[in-house]
Each structure stands twice: as C-alpha cells, then as structure tokens.
Amino acid sequence: MLAIVGYLLFKIIELSFAFLQALNPTVGAAIVAAVATVMLGIITQYLLKKRQLDDAHREKKIQIYEEFMKMAAAHLAQQNENLKQKKIPQEEIVKFFFKFKTDLILRGSTGVIRAMAKFESVSAGSGDVLGTVDDIYRAMRKDVGLSNFGLKPRELVAVYLKSEDRNQLLR
C-alpha cells in the first residue's frame, strides 16, 4: 500500500515538473511561489496547533504529577515525628491511586508508566521503595521536559528527608 502511495506521489511530482517546464517561465515561477506560500501556511498552522495541544497536554501532566508528589510527600510527612501529620486513611490512598492510574494511562509517558509499575511491584515486596519513588520522580521530570542531569540516585526523594537521613540515603 505504501509503495502504491509513494509511486503515485512520484508520478504527480513528475507530471507537475513536466507541466511547469511547458509553461512560460514567469507563469511557472508565479505558480511555484503560490504553491509554496499555501504549503508554508498549511505547515505553519499544523505546527501551531500541534504546539498548542502539546502545551495543554503538558500542563495537565504537571497537574497529575503534582498530585502524586503531594500524596508521596504527605506519606513521608507521616513518618516525621516533628510534623505531627495525621495518618492518611487507606481508602483515601486507594481512591487516589485509582484516579492517578487512569490519568496516567491517558497522559503519562511510557517511562512514568513503567516506573509506576516497578514501584507497585517493589512496594508489594520488601524492595527499595524510596529508590523506585525516585525513579518515578525522574520519569515525571523527564516527561515534562526537565533534565535529571547531575542528580544522584535517590536525590529527589532525599529532598524530603532530615539531613542525617538524607546523608544515609545518599551514601
């Protein structure tokens, strides 16, 4: 099918050049200029619309990812005796993750989805939960166009920890 479309496109271009060669050079130049102007306008409109959609999609991603980060921060805050944070009810956590996963399927990148799946596998066992949360944060940052260059492993999660816990985690 693709070969047929390619062949037809080639034939159309070939016939167009033959037609332009038969015309007066001034008329041919005017036709080429008009076609180029129209094509440029179409391409510009397409790129503008694509950028607008990408920007709107990016803003929604940021909202979704911020909600996840707030929930993760609240969970970490529960562990801090200085904050006196009340325990998040299990039902609220389940509801949050159900909604988050739906949003993730519609808007998240492959990297974020994979990091989330890894987190669920690790948290069900006895693995490195903080490391997988850090992986999620990194994937989210990458997805919204931020660089992770220069960040140490677990450094994003360590931001929430007390200095002695942070130093121990980053060793």
Residue 15 and residue 50: Cα distance in Å, rounded? Answer: 32
Nearest CA to 61 among 105, 93, 92?
105
State the pLDDT at residue 19.
83
Question: CB-based burial of residue 41 (10 Å sphere; 0-12 exposed, 13-18 middle, 19+ buried)?
Answer: exposed
The pTM for the full model equals 0.75
The Cα 158–Cα 80 span in angstroms is: 13
What is the model's pLDDT at position 110? 97
Both structure tokens of 50: 């694509």
Output the pLDDT for position 18: 83
Mean pLDDT of residues grouped by 10 in the chain (171 residues)? 88 85 84 90 96 93 95 84 83 95 95 96 89 96 96 91 79 78
Question: How many other β-carbons are positioned within 10 Å of the β-carbon of residue 80?
Answer: 13
